Amino acid sequence: MKITASLLPAFLGSAMAASIPSTSGNHIKASSSCTFSGSTGFDLLNKGHSSCQEIVISDLQVPAGKTLSLDKLNPGTTVTFSGKTTFPYTSSGFAGPLLSISSSSKLTIRGLSSSVLYGSGEKYWDGLGQKGPIKKPKFFQVHNLEDSVIEGVTILNAPVQVMSINGCKNLTVTSFTLDNKAGDGDWKAGKGGRNTDAFDIGSSSNIVIDGAKVYNQDDCVAINSGTDITFRNGLCSGGHGLSIGSVGGRSDNTVKNVLFENSVIANSENGARIKTNYGTTGLVSNITYRNVKLQNITKYGIMVDQSYGSSSKNASPTNGVPITGFTLSNVTGNVLSSGTNIFINCGDGSCKQFEWNQVDVKGGKKSSKCLRVPSGAWC
């Protein structure tokens, strides 16, 4: 990026007071460190971030209806969030994302211990999620990153879906926090968050999510496609649990080699769940839940459903997306009395190689509607 004489005073203002890019002639060197803050930092960031190797975003105010874009950063760039990054509400609606980081490699994206990314979700929540009259912005788009790390990021009050991981390879997310506890409202009364999935993963490989704390109102994790994905040492509270799927009907419909381990799912609709879409094709293979504790599950402790998305509640499950290899090891805990401990609804010949050991889920009802329960599992 060229810095003309007229632009230099702006770069010396408060938005970049902490560190000033070193220059050579009219160019910022790629090795420079840049800090962007306040109400003027957003415009300067859009003009100058591609030339900064170390970026600090400090108490930044993003204009309403705008995306904080950190796409196409130089490989090896470090981005640090400090203080409060604010994404204001807009009554005109906005699809988002609020934050985008894509198309680069060897990035380190980190939040300092006191930092927070605030999405103004409480001003959007109407109990309708994406079906509401005002379009709500998705939060964090992480697309086409390789060999990168996201660590210590805290998100407060996301309007709807939070982190979309798509087309990524060798990505590690550590110590991530989503605090949407304030969205636990009464949907029927037109209150509260909805569709606030913490992690939606597609077409990605070698993804590790370690030490996440999620308080939300939808899937803690939903893996729609991808291979070699691990979620461990996590807490999921208030949402729909740890989910595979829904799988089928997309451009990529394969999920393979997934491990959920050493985690707690509390006060959620579901615990461990695999859902494949009705009348579609694909593959779900080698899925393991290990050392997972369920607490106060309200709907299904363990659920496998191969009729997901059908327009009829009584539709027979289809077998176009076989589930081959579903291992549960030391999955224990309780379901509330109004819920169901285990529900399995498989298509003809499409659930195979189930291996369940030390599975003890109690407190709820025993289902009378299970269909084609494979050897190695029970209902």
Q: Which residue has the tokens 């950063």?
A: 73
Q: What is the DSSP letter of 50?
A: G
Tally of CB atoms within 10 A around 46: 14
Angle at 238 between CA 237 and CA 242, to 5 degrees: 65
**Residue in 27, 49, 143, 240 annotated catalytic:** 240
Q: Tell me if 159 sits within 8 A of 135, measured CB to CB.
A: no
Tally of CB atoms within 10 A around 334: 19
Q: Cα(first)–Cα(last) distance of the chain, in Å?
A: 62
Q: Tell me if 319 sits within 8 A of 284, measured CB to CB.
A: no
Angle at 177 between CA 172 and CA 179, to 5 degrees: 150
* DSSP element (H, E) containing 46: helix 41-48
Residue 304 backbone phi and psi in degrees, to 5: -125, 120
Is 240 among the residues known to form the active site?
A: yes
Angle at 194 between CA 269 and CA 250, to 5 degrees: 85
Distance, CA of 88 to CA of 114 (rounded, Å): 20
Distance, CA of 254 to CA of 203 (rounded, Å): 8
Of 285, 278, 377, nearest to 322 by C-alpha is 285
Q: Tell me if 119 sits within 8 A of 142, measured CB to CB.
A: no
- Tokens representing residue 343 in the block: 């529900």
Residues annotated as catalytic (active site), given as ranges: 240
